[in-house]
């Protein structure tokens, strides 16, 4: 292996979370995030991330490390990793999806949005409200009107669980 490649791989970045924890990662791992890549191209090696908290950042760094080493042979291993990665609570998924959006990591964004969509697909509007911590801003009359106008969509069984 050429020595220039090795020096390149050794280039390090420091990411600083919203709760002021610092993480050192290889530049080649970090640049999978468009946000970090743009900063690196502008010459930054210290990247403050005021919108990403430590808990989410640790998981995202794990994800980036795993995906930076993607080869043809570890496809199955990455699939298993991804499956475990999204096997968590809705609140954790929301933290992660917000962080992935801020960091502009499109493959992670896709995976998280698809996971959330798949998990709310059969849920009732009430369950979805609770899961997303949304206060209903309709008056009871307004909500009844919307339900009536779309009554046929409300036929059948709903999944009322919150996980």
Partner 1 sequence: MQNVRQNSNISVLAEEIIGNILLRLPVKTLVQLKCVCKLWCALISTPWFISVHLKRFSSDPDAHYILVQSTEINGLIPIRNPSCLIKLTEPYKADYSVVGSINGLVCLNDRYSKLICLWNPSIHQFKMLPMHNIKLQKTRKCYVSLGFGYEQNSDDYKVMRILNYYKGTPLNIVEVYSTKLESWRKVKTDVHLNMNTCSCDAIVEGFTYWVVRNTNEPRKAVLASFNLRSEMFSVIPVPEVLVTESHSFRAINYHGSLALLAYSSHNEFEKCLEIWMIEGGSCGEGVWQKKFTFGMGFKISTHWGLTNGDIVVENAPNTPFLFNLRTKQLRIMGTHFIHSVFYYTESLVSIKGFKPCPFVNEGEKEGFNSIEEKER
Q: Select 12 or 146, whichever has its Cβ closest to partner 1.
A: 146
Distances (CA, A) of 22 to 6, 25, 26, 120: 24, 10, 13, 35
Q: Select 9 or 38, whichever has its Cβ closest to partner 1.
A: 38
Q: Select 75 or 160, whichever has its Cβ closest to partner 1.
A: 160
Q: How far is the CB of 103 from partner 1 (least distance, A)?
A: 10
Q: Select 27 or 92, whichever has its Cβ closest to partner 1.
A: 92
Q: How far is the CB of 14 from partner 1 (least distance, A)?
A: 21
Site residues for partner 1 per CB under 8 A: 51, 91, 94-95, 97-99, 101-102, 109, 113-114, 116-118, 120-122, 124-125, 128-129, 132-138, 143, 146-154
Q: How far is the CB of 12 from partner 1 (least distance, A)?
A: 26
Q: Select 70 or 138, whichever has its Cβ closest to partner 1.
A: 138
Q: How many CB atoms lie within 10 A of CB 34?
A: 12
Q: How far is the CB of 28 from partner 1 (least distance, A)?
A: 25
Q: How far is the CB of 131 from partner 1 (least distance, A)?
A: 10
Distances (CA, A) of 147 to 31, 125, 132, 155: 46, 11, 20, 11
């Amino acid at each position: 292996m050429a020595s220039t490649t090795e020096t390149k791989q050794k280039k390090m970045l420091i990411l600083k979370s919203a709760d002021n924890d610092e993480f050192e990662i290889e530049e080649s791992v970090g640049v999978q995030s468009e946000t970090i890549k743009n900063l690196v191209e502008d010459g930054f090696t210290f990247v403050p991330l005021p919108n990403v908290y430590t808990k989410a950042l640790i998981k995202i760094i794990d994800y980036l490390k795993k995906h930076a080493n993607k080869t043809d042979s570890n496809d199955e291993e990455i699939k298993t990793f991804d499956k475990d990665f999204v096997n968590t609570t809705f609140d954790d998924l929301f933290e992660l999806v917000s962080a992935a959006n801020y960091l502009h990591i499109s493959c992670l964004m896709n995976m998280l949005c698809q996971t959330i969509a798949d998990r709310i697909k059969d849920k009732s509007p009430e369950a979805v409200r609770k899961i997303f911590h949304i206060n209903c801003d309709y008056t009871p009359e307004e909500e009844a009107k919307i339900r009536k106008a779309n009554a046929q969509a409300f036929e059948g069984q709903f999944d009322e669980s919150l996980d």
